Amino acid sequence: MLTGLDMMARILPVGGSNHWSVQLEASYIGTPKNRPFRFENIWLSHPDFIGNIEKWWKEDLQIQGTRMFILQKILRHIKIRLKDWNKNEFGNIFEAKKVVERKMKEINQTLITEGFDGERNEQANNHQEEWEDL
């Protein structure tokens, strides 16, 4: 049995046949383990990014095989190192965005209920800029 797999079956109307057609739908619930690799533009702004890539590329991985096989293994190694580096260097960006969004919502709600306030408006603008930088 697969965990996290949601299955649904529907019996379709009879269409002139003596058989019942069945429609099956399957969807995965949760986070897939093999998510596609995504390059993050924010990495380019970090001063250590290029140096890290060069260092990880030159690491001796003791791989033997065809050139394509070796390239694949090196790229997989760099992907793993990048994911770890991203987690340690930038943290969970999605959680940080949620925190900033919550602050923006609170300030906007206060502006709506209590009226315009220059200081609160400035805070909202600062949170907007912070969110855009994430």
55 burial class (0-12, 13-18, 19+ CB within 10 angstroms)? exposed
Same domain, 73 and 111: no
Distances (CA, A) of 99 to 3, 119, 124, 129, 134: 31, 20, 13, 14, 11
What is the predicted pLDDT for the residue at 30? 61
- Domain annotation covers residue 22: no
Same domain, 103 and 129: yes
Domain count, the chain: 2
- Domain annotation covers residue 4: no
The rounded percent of the chain whose pLDDT value lies above 90 is 28
Same domain, 45 and 69: yes
What is the predicted pLDDT for the residue at 1? 47
Q: Which residues of the chain have pLDDT under 50?
A: 1
Domain that holds residue 118: 93-133
Cβ-proximal residues to 22 (8 Å cutoff; 6+ apart), any chain: 9, 10, 11, 12
- Domain annotation covers residue 115: yes
What is the predicted pLDDT for the residue at 65? 92
What is the predicted pLDDT for the residue at 58? 93
- pTM for the whole structure: 0.50
Same domain, 45 and 85: yes
Same domain, 81 and 109: no
